[in-house]
Amino acid sequence: MLRQNEGMQRTLQNIQERIVRAAESAGRDPSEVTLIAVSKTVSLERMQEAYDLGLRHFGESRLQEAIPKIEALPKDIMWHFIGKLQSNKARRAAECFSVIHTIENEGQLKEITKAQNPTLSLLIEVNSGEEEQKAGISLAETAEFAKTVVQYKPATLRGLMSIGPAHRNAEDMRPYFKAVALANRNLGGSWLSLGMSSDFEVAIQEGSTHIRVGSALFGERT
Ligand SMILES: *Cc1c(COP(=O)(O)O)cnc(C)c1O
């Protein structure tokens, strides 16, 4: 147990150092970057370890998996929903989570607004690679869709989120991240959710404020 904790501490320290270096290489303040620990499939025990090391932002992609974790872990955690959100689960998600990263249609919003959660933050998911099978709306549609999202009170639209096409080389993600960052600036987004284990440094250089890191922190998911 102790050995494992020391392992996670070292891993986390390494990730935090990489965040600082990436931010500084782009002339950014590292404190602008929030590390979201993506804990899907991760046990409560390991999440508690991460909490004890200071992490307060956790990302989950399935509601059924997340709810017992939210109930069991300390109340000062900010929970981020990062999975595909079906409309029939959107109201419940809006009651349990602080941030939903995967807004892509009005059906979700109609349910979310019923939760009347005044501290809920929303991000629009962009399919930046315009991939057939990927979730999210196209970059060209974001400005128009943002106007729809802000009508659904009391949640607050914060900006854009994107995964982007998987590439072997993180550097190849840069043009996608750049395009999403530009669209985010154009619509006045203050948050930008870009970057995962394999590409968070490039994402930070391109302006990400929220990186979603799972396997680099907790190890490969089984
Ligand atoms: C699983 C997941 C992540 C984390 O992926 P890693 O490569 O393990 O860091 C980030 N974002 C989303 C939307 C995910 O589903």
CB 196 less than 6 A from any atom of ligand 1: yes
Residue 84 to residues 78, 81, 89, 195, Cα–Cα distance (Å): 19, 9, 10, 17
CB neighbour list of residue 195: distance below 8 Å, 6 or more residues apart: 177, 201, 202, 203, 204, 208, 211, 212, 213
Which helix H or strand E contains 21, and what residues bound it?
helix 2-25
5 confidence band (pLDDT: 50, 70, 90): low
CB 113 less than 6 A from any atom of ligand 1: no
Q: Which of 58, 79, 82, 201 to mutate to test the pocket of ligand 1 (most atoms within 8 A of CB)?
A: 82
CB 82 less than 6 A from any atom of ligand 1: yes
Q: Find the 214 Cα to ligand 1 centroid distance in Å.
A: 6
CA distance 88 to 96: 14
Q: Find the 117 Cα to ligand 1 centroid distance in Å.
A: 25
Q: Which of 34, 38, 173, 201 to mutate to test the pocket of ligand 1 (most atoms within 8 A of CB)?
A: 38
Q: Which atom of ligand 1 is nearest to the CA of 38?
A: 4
Asked whether residue 132 carries a pLDDT value surpassing 90, the answer given is no
The residue-averaged pLDDT of 85-101 equals 98
Question: Which residues on neighbouring strands pair with residue 211, listed in sequence order?
Answer: 35
CB 197 less than 6 A from any atom of ligand 1: yes
Asked whether residue 64 carries a pLDDT value surpassing 60, the answer given is yes
CB neighbour list of residue 129: distance below 8 Å, 6 or more residues apart: 164, 165, 176
Asked whether residue 2 carries a pLDDT value surpassing 60, the answer given is no
Q: Identity (one letter) of the amino acid at 9?
A: Q
Contact 189, 13 (CB under 8 A): no
CA distance 75 to 106: 30
Residue nearest to atom 6 of ligand 1 (CA): 214
CB neighbour list of residue 27: distance below 8 Å, 6 or more residues apart: none
Q: Which atom of ligand 1 is nearest to the CA of 36?
A: 10
Contact 203, 211 (CB under 8 A): yes
Q: Taking all residues of the chain, what is their mean pLDDT, rounded to a whole number?
A: 96
**What is the value of pTM for the model shown?**
0.96
Give the angle subtended at the CA of 85 by the CAs of 79 and 91, to the nearest 5°: 70
